[in-house]
Amino acid sequence: MPVSIYDIAKEANVSPSTVSRALQDNPHIGAKTKARIQKLAQKMGYIPSAVAQSLVTNKTWTIGVVITTSADPVVAEVVDGIEQVAQDANYAVFLGNSRNDPQREMAVVETFRRRRVDAIIVVASRVGKTYGSLQSQHSVPILVVEPQEHSGYHHSISTDNKGGAMLAVEHLIALGHRKIGYVGAIDRPISNNDRMLGYTTALTQANIPVVLDLISLPYCTDDIERGQMGVTDVLAAKATAVFCYNDRTAIGLMNACGQHGIEVPGMLSVVGFDDIEAATYIKPALTTIRQHLFRLGQAAMQTTLSLINEQDPPDIVLPYNLVVRQSTTVVPS
């Protein structure tokens, strides 16, 4: 068993409460005894029990992070950002994988509740509305990153999907493309809608008609596969360029292009979304919309801290920008 303040108290011939005070920044204690106790505690290898502290203060200094899988590089980067801010604020983070299973996701949230986390952050949820009732039922703040359902109950945060998508499509238009396809993710209703909206808006603003055949929404939850499935649709519609829901979709699509003898960017320009590391070293290097996922994670945790402290969350605007690489070029004549 680890040493307790009781052990220290006996050793120092003081009461446990004196020890407790010495170990905090409690003003009601003499400087000399304070120093003496602290030194003794150090020497005895005392490590305070967060468990006992939590029980009495009713605060655990933990947050629960729900993710699908850390194998997704987008998720991993967001988690990294969350963890960094949490660590600096003396919070520890619980990680719980849902593996895309709503039932498991609810189970994870339940264990977080049992553990009395101070807040919950959900990254890339597939569950949705359920959080509404949870939020109203209990008092644990819940923040959803890139929510896939609208709900008035929980807070949320995300990059400007519409703006980013517009930027991507405007880039293609500037290169002379008119037949621009979109391969979307049907299993991510909200962000997909926003990105598709950016796509259509950019087209409309350039007086280019929106052609439904150019829009592919494969019934598929795997990013890579989705791209492989989507490429046949956009090629059938004679697209000269395609904007993909995200980088991994673009990578899957470019992969399929290689198999079909379609040259990128010679015959088809490709733009992604996210700017994961692989975008830089794939051939051809992927033109994409960079969203700073690490900062997204940081912002999520910062917002969570405000929520915990019952302050108004800061209005964080997440940066995004176009990164032009080798997967896009002027329209073939």
Partner DNA sequence: TTGTACGCGTTATCAA
Partner DNA sequence: TTGATAACGCGTACAA
Residues at the site binding DNA, with contacts judged by CB under 7 A: 1-2, 4-6, 13-18, 20-21, 23-24, 26-30, 33-34, 46, 48-49, 51-53, 55-58
Q: Which residues contact 23 (CB under 8 A, 6 or more apart)?
A: 5, 37, 38, 41, 46, 48
Q: Which is nearer to DNA, 17 or 309 (CB)?
A: 17
Name the binder of 252 from DNA, a copy of itself, none, CB < 5-8 A by kind.
a copy of itself
* Residues 186/239/327/145 CA torsion (nearest 10 deg): -20
Q: Which is nearer to a copy of itself, 198 or 227 (CB)?
A: 227
* Residues 146/150/155/161 CA torsion (nearest 10 deg): 30
Name the binder of 35 from a copy of itself, DNA, none, CB < 5-8 A by kind.
none
The percent of the chain in helix, strand and coil, each rounded to the nearest 5, is 45, 15, 40
DSSP state of 196: H
**CA quadruple 268, 269, 273, 276: dihedral positive or negative?**
positive
Classify each residue of 1-26 as buried b or exposed e, where b means 16 or more C-beta atoms within 10 Å of its C-beta.
eeebbebbbeebebeeebbbbbbeee
DSSP structure string for 213-246:
GGEE--S-S-HHHHHHHHHHHHHHTT-SEEEESS
Q: Which is nearer to DNA, 31 or 71 (CB)?
A: 31
Helix (H) or strand (E) holding 207: none
Classify each residue of 282-317 as buried b or exposed e, where b means 16 or more C-beta atoms within 10 Å of its C-beta.
bebebbbbbbbbbbbbbbbbbbbbebbeeeebeeee
Q: Which is nearer to a copy of itself, 202 or 282 (CB)?
A: 282
Distance of closest approach, residue 13 Cβ to DNA, in angstroms? 7
Q: How far, in Å, CA of 316 to CA of 306, rounded?
A: 12
DSSP structure string for 98-123:
-TT-HHHHHHHHHHHHHTT-SEEEEE
Name the binder of 18 from DNA, a copy of itself, none, CB < 5-8 A by kind.
DNA
Name the binder of 274 from DNA, a copy of itself, none, CB < 5-8 A by kind.
none
From edge to edge, which strands make up the β-sheet containing 241-244? 215-216, 180-183, 241-244, 269-274, 287-291, 320-323
Name the binder of 281 from DNA, a copy of itself, none, CB < 5-8 A by kind.
a copy of itself
Residues within the interface to a copy of itself (CB under 8 A): 1-2, 45, 47-52, 54-55, 58, 60, 62, 65, 69-71, 73, 76-77, 79-80, 83-84, 87, 92-97, 99, 108, 110-116, 137-138, 224, 251-252, 255, 258, 277-278, 281-283
Q: Which is nearer to DNA, 24 or 87 (CB)?
A: 24
Name the binder of 212 from a copy of itself, DNA, none, CB < 5-8 A by kind.
none
Q: Which is nearer to a copy of itself, 150 or 283 (CB)?
A: 283
Q: Which is nearer to a copy of itself, 13 or 58 (CB)?
A: 58
Distance of closest approach, residue 21 Cβ to a copy of itself, in angstroms? 19
Distance of closest approach, residue 223 Cβ to a copy of itself, in angstroms? 10
Distance of closest approach, residue 243 Cβ to a copy of itself, in angstroms? 19
Distance of closest approach, residue 94 Cβ to a copy of itself, in angstroms? 5
Q: Which is nearer to a copy of itself, 24 or 87 (CB)?
A: 87
Name the binder of 108 from DNA, a copy of itself, none, CB < 5-8 A by kind.
a copy of itself
Name the binder of 6 from DNA, a copy of itself, none, CB < 5-8 A by kind.
DNA
- Candidates 281, 210, 289; CA nearest to 243 is 289
Distance of closest approach, residue 57 Cβ to a copy of itself, in angstroms? 10
